[in-house]
Amino acid sequence: MIFKSINPYSQEVIAEHEVLTNSQLNQKLELAESAFKKWRSTSFQERADKMQKVANILRATKNELGLLITNEMGKIIAESIAEVEKAAGNCDFYAENAERMLHDAHYDTPFKSMSVYDPMGAVFAIMPWNYPFWQVLRYAAPAIMAGNVTLLKHAPNVIGCAKAIENAFLEAGFPEGVFQQIAIDIAQVESVIASNIVCGITLTGSEMAGSSVAALAGKHIKKSVLELGGSDAFIVLDDANIEKATTVATQSRMLNAGQACICAKRFIVTEKIADEFAGLFAHKINALQQGNPLHKNINMGPLARLDLAEKLSYQLEHSLKQGAKIIVGGERENCNFKPTLIDFVDANNIAFQEETFGPLATIIRAKNEKDAIAIANNHRYGLASAIWTEDREKAYQLARSIEAGNVFVNSLVRSDSRIPFGGIKKSGYGRELSEIGIKEFMNMKSVIIE
């Protein structure tokens, strides 16, 4: 079997990658097991030195790596380079902080008691194509700094990115087997999860994929962390700064051609300001320039695959049949989906109920702030949300009532190495990043000494 990398803009096949045979996969698992036995005993300083080298390699080659990202999945070149830089920053963060995060915890008891953190084995990662470097280094840097090893099953259309990351780890001096990318088919996934060397699974992807992997993890009694779909609410109240809100709304929805779990997707606006918000939002969306992602003046490239563009077209078509009104955009040519805004969406509309993974923004009109919060929470996803209001105290109270893993006030929703990230409901469970993220695949072992 062959995986093909197809340039989304030109539709040209740019690379082909052979899928591992079962025999080759078993060799990878054996190598991971052998590497873990040695890597788990290395010092934090040795790990940090090598992880810092990975960061330096990524920065030194960010232009070449950015070009690889753009050619494989289509985001504009400036966003690709910025993604490599962010991934490098995460390597820095864990190189500098892992030892502090995993220090022994002592308890106030009549006897000596403590908790220590031990690495557990290989973390098996199933990662998506939309942020092919950031998503990988987001989990891999903490897992490896903690003394674990990792096996990466990347999306079939970005195997070139997976190989580039593996090469960076090897160039930085990591032993073979600490970081391995494995080009495998879906049918081979269970054998990896079942392996004794695998201590847990982390997946970023669709709700359907998460459900399947969670079932396999449960079957084989393995820890799992899932970051799944999102239909993030962007709540705009009467007293919001509409100029700033529409600027950030445009960025939040259209960044990476709208292909992010934490893109704002449901713009819930109170009736009093809905017309003003919709008009200014439409104006800013219409000003975006879509085209060749390698050109400097382009704001947005194509969607990553033709099937994704076709699905978004289907969702738009049915949303309009269900009563939504198109304000701007709506046209598509192959993977190039024009930035689009629709209004008068309600909870029965497909654009409300499903995750729309692309540059399609939807406005839902709320009667008041209470209604806006109810609309925001009326969804099976709960990844992130944003609230726009000039009343910071009210924003804090409303943020506590939002059913999501992350709430941002008057700001772009984004991930940050220092802050826990993850969702609730059908958006998954567990957390990545920060001190919490590095402990997800550790054995917190209690030690008591009389």
Positions marked catalytic: 227, 261
CA distance 387 to 383: 14
Closest of 93, 90, 92, 87 to residue 58, by C-alpha: 87
Q: How many Cβ atoms from other residues are within 10 Å of residue 106's Cβ? A: 11
Written as six digits, the tokens of 201 are 């699974």
Q: How many Cβ atoms from other residues are within 10 Å of residue 178's Cβ? A: 26
Written as six digits, the tokens of 267 are 């713009």
Distances (CA, A) of 309 to 255, 303, 305, 316: 16, 6, 7, 11
Distances (CA, A) of 36 to 24, 197, 202, 204, 310: 19, 9, 18, 24, 43
The length of the chain is 450
8 Å CB contact between 22 and 136: no
Written as six digits, the tokens of 23 are 């025999």
CA distance 8 to 157: 10
Q: What are phi and psi of 325, to 5 degrees?
A: -115, 130
> In a 3-state reduction of DSSP, which class is residue 275?
helix
CA distance 116 to 105: 7
> In a 3-state reduction of DSSP, which class is residue 320?
helix
Q: Which residues does 341 contact at the CB level (< 8 Å), separation at least 6?
A: 278, 281, 282, 285, 326, 327, 328, 329, 361, 362, 363
DSSP for 176-238 reads: TTSEEE----GGGHHHHHHSTTEEEEEEES-HHHHHHHHHHHHHTT-EEEEE----EEEEE-T
Closest of 152, 99, 94, 97 to residue 122, by C-alpha: 152
Distances (CA, A) of 395 to 116, 276, 409, 422: 39, 21, 7, 21
> In a 3-state reduction of DSSP, which class is residue 15?
strand
How is residue 175 annotated by DSSP? P
Written as six digits, the tokens of 333 are 């040519």
